[in-house]
Amino acid sequence: MRTYVTAAIFAIAIIVASIVLGNAFMNRNKTDGTISVTGLGKADFTSDLIVWEGSFSRESFNLQQAYSDLENDKKVIAEYLKGKGITENELVFKAVRSIKNTRPTYTSEGQFTGEEFLGYILTQELQIDSRDVEKVEKVSREITELLNRGIQFYSQSPRYYYTQLADLKIEMISMATEDARIRAESIAENSSSDLGNLISAKMGIFQITGQNSNEDYSWGGTYNTSEKEKTASITMKLTYEVD
């Protein structure tokens, strides 16, 4: 009796294995039932906010004299910028920084003997934030005119920003999502499948680069501030069911 039971179990096992192997063979070319696609949202835009910074310095053995000279320079600079159309709301003068200027001294044998006092160096920075980008660009290019008035002014390159960045990002996400959906529909159609429900959506890094530049994208996101004309881009990875 035990022999018949064992034989029956063995026969059933063979049948089940055949069914499983047969299904595996029949479905060997089928997908796992999902499609993953990546869409791109991209747009060019022009910066609408400029930030420009500069600094000026005075040096003297007498600290009070250095402060007085720096204050006179500040007045001249403020009047100059006002004449160029810069308003009080756009201009900020920062706190004065003061350092002692020294240099090391040595004996003829090269032994350090101390430091020689060369005077006080006072520096003040200014910053201009403006929506009038072209106006400030022009001022930054012409600021060397102050050298003719005996003012040591050091200018930095302007930085450019976009105040509607949050709205632009939402627009880019929408564009990238639509682009990914169209790609998924095309893949499903070409594989004679039907696109099903959206399973997951993953947003990529928001990138801002200079237009027509060769800047590399960064894993943490690139945010170009040196160019007025910029390009924003973002990716969306979508995973759909397919039938």
Residue stretches of the chain with pLDDT short of 70: 1-32, 218
pLDDT of 19: 42
pLDDT of 216: 72
Could you give the CA distance from residue 54 to residue 93 in angstroms, rounded to a whole number?
10
* Entry pTM: 0.77
pLDDT of 24: 37
pLDDT (tens digit per residue) in 232-242: 999 999 999 98
pLDDT of 32: 57
The verdict on 123 and 173 lying in the same domain is: no
* Full domain range(s) for residue 92: 50-159
CB-CB contact of 59 with 119 (8 Å): yes
pLDDT of 113: 85
pLDDT of 108: 84
Instruction: Give the number of residues written for the chain.
Output: 243
The verdict on 54 and 87 lying in the same domain is: yes
CATH number of 177's domain = 3.30.110.170
The verdict on 176 and 196 lying in the same domain is: yes
Domain boundary among 159, 174, 202: 159
Could you give the CA distance from residue 86 to residue 80 in angstroms, rounded to a whole number?
9
The verdict on 58 and 23 lying in the same domain is: no
Could you give the CA distance from residue 153 to residue 150 in angstroms, rounded to a whole number?
9
pLDDT of 107: 83
Of 217, 216, 207, 213, whose CA–CA distance to 43 is shortest? Answer: 207
Count how many domains the chain has: 3
The verdict on 144 and 61 lying in the same domain is: yes
Q: What is the DSSP string of 30-48?
A: ---SEEEEEEEEEEEEE--
The verdict on 95 and 188 lying in the same domain is: no
Could you give the CA distance from residue 237 to residue 33 in angstroms, rounded to a whole number?
17
Could you give the CA distance from residue 38 to residue 217 in angstroms, rounded to a whole number?
16
